[in-house]
């Protein structure tokens, strides 16, 4: 089981790609997440009928009214797979274990149906790993992927995790979503480990909003930024790598840094306190350049 944030740069690139491909207005049509009731299974519900019901709820949530998901079960290594074609029918296979472990059917379907959504958008990252990270990130950011984090359970006798992101990375994406839409997913978690991962992801997401030149930067960050700025102004160099921000030009000197919401880079003149509006996600940022 891998923990931490090993894929964080790809996750941030995926959030940027969603805003660029969908636009701010479309992203904000997903302000409400999939409600737990839509993916809940009764103990006596037929798994074949239930899985079609949940798939239909996913289709409606993702605004895919002309897509039909044909879901079946079979013995396989992975949680699920999908055959991507022109549509309107898409064939999804889920691991046979979900016939008895029905609680996590919604989580498995959120990933597979998101493949259809991104396929129709024509949005993909090169390479299988990065594309799967994009899919997990999109599922979580657009309101269905909280189920993937809730499927994470770890004990002395067994461990389960669905998706390609680490639990903390799922928590990070859900925290970024919570910051953007004002929706707290934590009451929906039935897994204590999922809640712990969410709190760690939330801490990382909050750090994004405290990096220079943002005004909320802590004292140490402000001092480091001021030192780098003086060095650039006096010697014409650049900020050390790994800072996140970079200085460009000379007259006027500009600083570029990632938007804490969508991670698109923003460029502004170095002239003290300034209010900046991100052109991609429309976040208004207080900065001290």
- Please spell the DSSP secondary structure of 99-141, one letter per residue: GT-GGGHHHHHHHHHHHHHHHHHT---SSHHHHHHHHHHHHHH
| Residues 47 and 162 placed together within one structural domain of the fold | yes
User: 58: domain range?
Assistant: 7-208
Q: Output the pLDDT for position 238.
A: 65
Instruction: Tell me the whole-structure pTM to 2 decimals.
Output: 0.94
For the chain, the domain total comes to: 2
Q: Output the pLDDT for position 94.
A: 94
| Residues 161 and 282 placed together within one structural domain of the fold | no
Answer with the one of 183, 208, 233 that is the final residue of a domain.
208
Q: Output the pLDDT for position 137.
A: 98
Instruction: Flag residues of the chain having pLDDT under 50.
Output: none
Answer with the one of 166, 184, 208 that is the final residue of a domain.
208
Q: Output the pLDDT for position 77.
A: 87
Q: Output the pLDDT for position 274.
A: 93
Q: Output the pLDDT for position 41.
A: 86
| Residues 143 and 272 placed together within one structural domain of the fold | no
Strands 89-95 and 68-74: parallel
pLDDT tens track for 215-231: 999 999 999 999 999 88
Q: Does residue 170 belong to any structural domain of this protein?
A: yes
| Residues 146 and 85 placed together within one structural domain of the fold | yes
CA distance 276 to 289: 11
10 Å CB burial of residue 25 (0-12, 13-18, 19+) is exposed
CA distance 221 to 202: 20
| Residues 195 and 228 placed together within one structural domain of the fold | no
Q: Does residue 1 belong to any structural domain of this protein?
A: no
> How many CB atoms neighbour CB 204 within 10 A?
17
10 Å CB burial of residue 209 (0-12, 13-18, 19+) is middle
| Residues 204 and 258 placed together within one structural domain of the fold | no
In the DSSP assignment, the letter for residue 248 is E
| Residues 181 and 274 placed together within one structural domain of the fold | no
Q: Does residue 200 belong to any structural domain of this protein?
A: yes
Q: Does residue 67 belong to any structural domain of this protein?
A: yes
| Residues 164 and 195 placed together within one structural domain of the fold | yes
Both structure tokens of 184: 């707290």
Do the beta carbons of residue 140 and residue 173 sit within 8 Å? yes
| Alpha-carbon 217 to chain mean position | 23
pLDDT tens track for 227-276: 999 888 887 666 677 789 999 887 789 999 999 999 999 999 999 899 99
Nearest one of 59, 55, 155 to 105, comparing CA atoms: 55
Decide: helix, strand or coil at residue 214.
strand
Q: Peptide bond preceding 135: is omega within 30 degrees of 0, i.e. cis? A: no
Q: Output the pLDDT for position 192.
A: 93
Please enumerate in sequence order all residues whose Cβ is within 8 A of that of 141, keeping only pairs 6 or more positions apart, or say none: 14, 15, 18, 27, 30, 173, 176, 177
Q: Output the pLDDT for position 84.
A: 81
Q: Does residue 85 belong to any structural domain of this protein?
A: yes
Q: Does residue 185 belong to any structural domain of this protein?
A: yes
Q: Does residue 49 belong to any structural domain of this protein?
A: yes
Answer with the one of 208, 242, 270 that is the final residue of a domain.
208
């Amino acid at each position: 089981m891998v923990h931490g944030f090993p894929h964080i740069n790809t996750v941030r690139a995926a959030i940027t790609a969603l805003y660029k491909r969908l636009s701010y207005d479309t992203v904000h049509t997903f302000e409400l997440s999939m409600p737990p009731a839509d993916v809940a299974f009764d103990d006596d519900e037929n798994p074949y009928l239930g899985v079609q019901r949940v798939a239909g709820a996913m289709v409606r949530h993702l605004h895919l009214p002309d897509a039909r998901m044909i879901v079946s079960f079979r013995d396989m290594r992975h949680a699920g797979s999908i055959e991507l074609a022109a549509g309107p029918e898409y064939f999804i296979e889920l691991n046979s274990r979900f016939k008895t472990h029905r609680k996590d059917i919604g989580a498995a379907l959120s990933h597979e149906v998101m493949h259809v959504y991104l396929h129709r958008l024509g949005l993909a990252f090169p390479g299988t790993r990065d594309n799967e990270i994009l899919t997990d990130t999109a599922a979580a950011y657009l309101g269905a992927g909280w189920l993937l984090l809730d499927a994470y359970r770890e004990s002395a006798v067994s461990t389960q995790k669905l998706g390609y992101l680490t639990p903390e990375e799922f928590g990070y994406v859900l925290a970024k979503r919570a910051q953007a839409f004002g929706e707290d997913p934590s009451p929906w978690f039935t897994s204590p480990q999922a809640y712990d991962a969410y709190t760690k992801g939330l801490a990382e997401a909050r750090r994004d909003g405290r990096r220079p030149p943002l005004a909320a930067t802590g004292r140490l960050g402000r001092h480091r930024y001021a030192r780098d700025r003086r060095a650039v102004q006096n010697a014409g160099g650049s900020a050390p790598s790994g800072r996140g921000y970079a200085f460009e030009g000379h007259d006027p000197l500009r600083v570029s840094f990632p938007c804490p919401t969508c991670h698109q880079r923003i460029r502004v003149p170095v002239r003290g306190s300034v209010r900046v509006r991100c052109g991609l996600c429309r976040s208004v940022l207080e900065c001290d350049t």
